[in-house]
């Protein structure tokens, strides 16, 4: 039985990762400050003997040290995440993502514990070369636009991880996650799919930021967790960077239409200029497509769920909650057709 530390384990991806680790027979230790994570995400795991939750921050060096000392492997997921959140709390973004990650990497190197660092496709910035391949250049906007602080903070994490690998032999793997979605993701911090689904189920306007022609690629969290587990089991992955995602591309406007269709909602689709949605001068990327050739070649990773199934899974997971909050049953048409018809045409 391996002892595994998951920082940010009460978050969206972290909670799914904890489930998968327990399923494999590992003993799991979570450190999370519940800033965006939720105790409900891990409530079903808390009576498991092999599951341990510590409320606290990766900025708390002695606490982190006590946990890292007793674990065999670290998944470092704790971070300030989400464009909206980053604009709201720019100081926390930089401090937690840089200083907190420094703590994790420094202790992992000191105690010789292997570590997987969750990085992000934001790293590529507004580069227009597609699809993104691990060694491509990063192109960022000016420091006066705070949205770039997320990409830069994660880029510093990657530099630091690779520096510890080269200088102190830290066994680190960097996973650059592209848009990851699925049950338990919350729309509260600007995550697009759960937000669209909630709006559609409530019969509210589905609000698309910008002109909606920007495209994204969504991977289901179950596929992403599988990729992370494949990577940590492969020694040849150490010291390397991998894109993790699903190359199936969709424009945000098409995505809104798909959500509307699968929920059976009457909601109008409303375009909101970026300036209103975020802040004046907000910059977004037109496309963000992963080249997953490297991870496919090394560990045979291929996403198993297609967009339609991914959206259907989110609708199913949100319906009950939305019904409770609006106090009305969501109409029969609002059942995801693809689930009833055998998802994934």
Closest CB 341 distance from ligand NAD, rounded Å: 27
Quote the DSSP letter at residue 42: G
- Strand (E) positions, 80-225? 115-120, 172-177, 180-181, 206-209, 215-217, 219-220
Q: Write the DSSP string, 233-273.
A: T-GGGTT-EEEES---EEEHHHHHHHHHHHHT--PPEEEE-
The answer to whether 128 and 138 have CB atoms below 8 angstroms apart is no
Closest CB 33 distance from ligand NAD, rounded Å: 4
35 binds ligand NAD (CB under 6 A): yes
Residue with tokens 């050739």: 293
Q: Which stretch binds ligand NAD (CB under 6 A): 4-12, 199-207, 308-316, 328-336?
A: 4-12
> Which of 96, 123, 237, 330 is the binder for ligand NAD (CB under 6 A)?
96
Tell me whether residue 150 is one of the annotated catalytic residues. Answer: yes
Given the complex with ligand NAD, which of 16 and 267 has the nearer CB atom? 16
Residues 76 and 306: their CA atoms lie apart, in Å, by 27
Residues 75 and 9: their CA atoms lie apart, in Å, by 9
Degrees, nearest 5: CA angle 7-111-9? 10
Query: Phi then psi for 162, rounded to 5 degrees?
Result: -70, -35
Given the complex with ligand NAD, which of 89 and 163 has the nearer CB atom? 89
> Which of 20, 22, 34, 230 is the binder for ligand NAD (CB under 6 A)?
34
Q: Which of 269, 288, 273, 267 is nearest to 331 (CA)?
A: 267
Degrees, nearest 5: CA angle 133-18-148? 40
Q: Which stretch binds ligand NAD (CB under 6 A): 29-37, 259-267, 272-280, 308-316?
A: 29-37
303 binds ligand NAD (CB under 6 A): no
User: Interface mask (CB under 6 A) for ligand NAD, residues 52-91, using x and -?
Assistant: -----xxx-----------------xxxxx----------
Q: Which stretch binds ligand NAD (CB under 6 A): 9-17, 136-144, 159-167, 314-322?
A: 9-17
Residues 300 and 294: their CA atoms lie apart, in Å, by 9
Closest CB 10 distance from ligand NAD, rounded Å: 5
Closest CB 39 distance from ligand NAD, rounded Å: 10
HSE-CB for 5 with a 13 A CA cutoff = 28
31 binds ligand NAD (CB under 6 A): yes
118 binds ligand NAD (CB under 6 A): yes
Closest CB 155 distance from ligand NAD, rounded Å: 12
Degrees, nearest 5: CA angle 312-40-23? 75
> Which of 71, 93, 103, 120 is the binder for ligand NAD (CB under 6 A)?
120
- Strand (E) positions, the chain? 3-7, 27-32, 51-55, 73-76, 115-120, 172-177, 180-181, 206-209, 215-217, 219-220, 241-244, 249-251, 269-272
Query: Phi then psi for 74, rounded to 5 degrees?
Result: -125, 135
Closest CB 179 distance from ligand NAD, rounded Å: 5
245 binds ligand NAD (CB under 6 A): no
In angstroms, the Cα distances linking 8 to 5, 25, 84 are 10, 20, 19
Catalytic residue among 124, 140, 150, 189: 150
> Which of 4, 6, 13, 45 is the binder for ligand NAD (CB under 6 A)?
13
User: Interface mask (CB under 6 A) for ligand NAD, residues 179-198, using x and -?
Assistant: xx------------------
37 binds ligand NAD (CB under 6 A): yes
**Residue 233 tokens, joined:** 């089991």
Which of positions 217-236 make contact with ligand NAD (CB under 6 A)?
none
161 binds ligand NAD (CB under 6 A): no
Which residues carry out catalysis?
150
Residues in contact with ligand NAD by CB under 6 A are 7-8, 10-14, 31-37, 57-59, 77-81, 96, 100, 118, 120, 177, 179-180
């Amino acid at each position: 039985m391996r002892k595994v530390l998951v920082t940010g384990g009460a978050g969206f991806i972290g909670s799914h990762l904890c489930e998968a680790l327990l399923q494999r027979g590992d003993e799991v230790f979570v450190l999370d400050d519940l800033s965006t994570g939720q105790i409900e995400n891990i409530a079903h795991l808390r009576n498991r003997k092999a599951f341990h939750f510590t409320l606290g921050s990766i900025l708390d060096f002695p606490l982190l040290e006590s946990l890292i000392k007793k674990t065999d492997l670290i998944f470092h997921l704790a971070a300030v995440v989400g464009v909206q959140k980053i604009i709201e709390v720019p100081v926390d973004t930089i401090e937690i993502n840089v200083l907190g990650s420094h703590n994790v990497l420094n202790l992992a190197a000191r105690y010789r514990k292997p570590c997987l660092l969750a990085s992000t496709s934001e790293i590529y910035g507004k580069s227009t070369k597609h699809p993104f391949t691990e060694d491509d250049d990063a192109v960022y906007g000016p420091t006066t636009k705070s949205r770039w602080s997320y990409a830069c903070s994660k880029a510093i994490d990657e530099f630091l991880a690779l520096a510890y690998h080269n200088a102190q032999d830290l066994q680190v793997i960097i996973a650059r996650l592209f848009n990851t979605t699925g049950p338990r993701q919350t729309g509260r911090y600007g995550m697009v799919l759960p937000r669209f689904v909630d709006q559609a189920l409530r019969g509210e306007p589905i609000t698309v930021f910008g002109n909606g022609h920007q495209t994204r690629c969504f991977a289901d969290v179950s596929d992403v967790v599988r990729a992370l587990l494949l990577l940590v089991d492969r020694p040849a992955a150490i010291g390397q960077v991998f894109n993790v995602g699903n190359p199936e591309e969709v424009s945000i406007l098409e995505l809104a239409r798909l959500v509307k269709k699968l929920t059976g909602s009457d909601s109008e689709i409303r375009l909101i200029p970026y300036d209103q949605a975020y802040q004046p001068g907000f910059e977004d990327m037109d496309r963000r497509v992963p080249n997953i050739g490297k991870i496919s070649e090394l560990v045979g990773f291929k996403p198993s769920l297609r967009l339609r199934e991914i959206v259907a899974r989110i609708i199913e997971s949100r319906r009950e909650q939305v019904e409770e909050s609006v106090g009305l049953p969501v109409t029969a048409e609002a059942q995801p057709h693809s689930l009833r018809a055998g998802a994934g045409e």
